[in-house]
Amino acid sequence: MSGVPRPERGLTGRTAVVTGGAQGIGAAVGERLCAEGCRVLVYDKSAPHGRATVEAWRAEGHAAHLAVGDVTDPAAVAAAFADLPEGWQRPTLLVNLAAGFVFKGLEATVTDWHAALDPTLVGLSLVTREFVAGLPERDADAAIVNMASISAHIAQSGFLTYNTGKAAVLGMTRCLAQDLAPRGVRVNSVSPGTVWNANNERFHREALGLDRAAAESAPEHGGKFLLGRFANPAEVAAPIAFLLSDEASFITGTDLAVDGGYLAV
């Protein structure tokens, strides 16, 4: 695992749950939290990816555990939180990354809408409810980060299902921040731009015939961002770790754009 020792930020020894943490941004978040000294519970539908990710962290001496399940299944969510390894404290950090990736417009069917919104919104709600149920009524010293997107802030042709879900995440974040502040729980979100992960690499190569360098040099792709490139997963994980940490102790109910300047123009 890469990285250098970091100053004490209130994360060492904490238990963190990362939904959708088996690969991509989620795996980068888990890796960063492991490096910060957290115990990390990965909650994901993909057993093969999840096992590989968690075993790699364990091999490097980190405390990591996998719970396989669907965030939209209340029983699976409850089981994930109940099945913590012996000696682990109840989670006080939560990163909601699981989402539905459906990109359709008005042609979207009822099935499409459920696939788009159920993981993104219902799943977020169920996981957050279970997380909060294990916290004290006051002074919980807990933090939640939800995954939004630049798509939550803009209109994009043919993206009705996805953008609607991510825009709702912003609303949920503000409402949860208000409701949970009296209990000592901070709730924020991040809005990344395009991240060069396995899915985006596959899309650019197979659908567009572009490698990363070509995609980033294209005005309609990487050129959309002020920095002229896509993000690496670790560049999204770092601000998430910040929002979870004591360094962000007076930040709640806000969205942090991690977008290479996209929303600035």
Domain residue limits at 212: 196-230
What pLDDT score does 9 carry?
A: 82
pLDDT at 257 over 80: yes
Are both 138 and 109 inside the same structural domain?
A: yes
Task: List the one residue out of 6, 22, 9 whose CA is nearest residue 54.
Answer: 22
Are both 139 and 33 inside the same structural domain?
A: yes
Range with the lowest mean pLDDT among 5-19, 136-150, 233-247? 5-19
Are both 207 and 218 inside the same structural domain?
A: yes
262 within some domain: no
Are both 47 and 154 inside the same structural domain?
A: yes
Are both 184 and 218 inside the same structural domain?
A: no
How much of the chain is in helix, strand and coil states, percent to nearest 5?
45, 15, 40
Are both 190 and 202 inside the same structural domain?
A: no
Catalytic residue positions, numbered? 162
CATH of the domain at 117: 3.40.50.720
Are both 77 and 132 inside the same structural domain?
A: yes
Token pair recorded at residue 19: 């939904």
Distance between start and end Cα atoms, the chain: 36
Phi and psi angles of residue 27, each rounded to the nearest 5 degrees, phi first: -65, -35
> Whole-model pTM?
0.94
Are both 88 and 111 inside the same structural domain?
A: yes
Distance separating alpha carbons of residues 262 and 265, to the nearest angstrom: 6
Are both 205 and 123 inside the same structural domain?
A: no
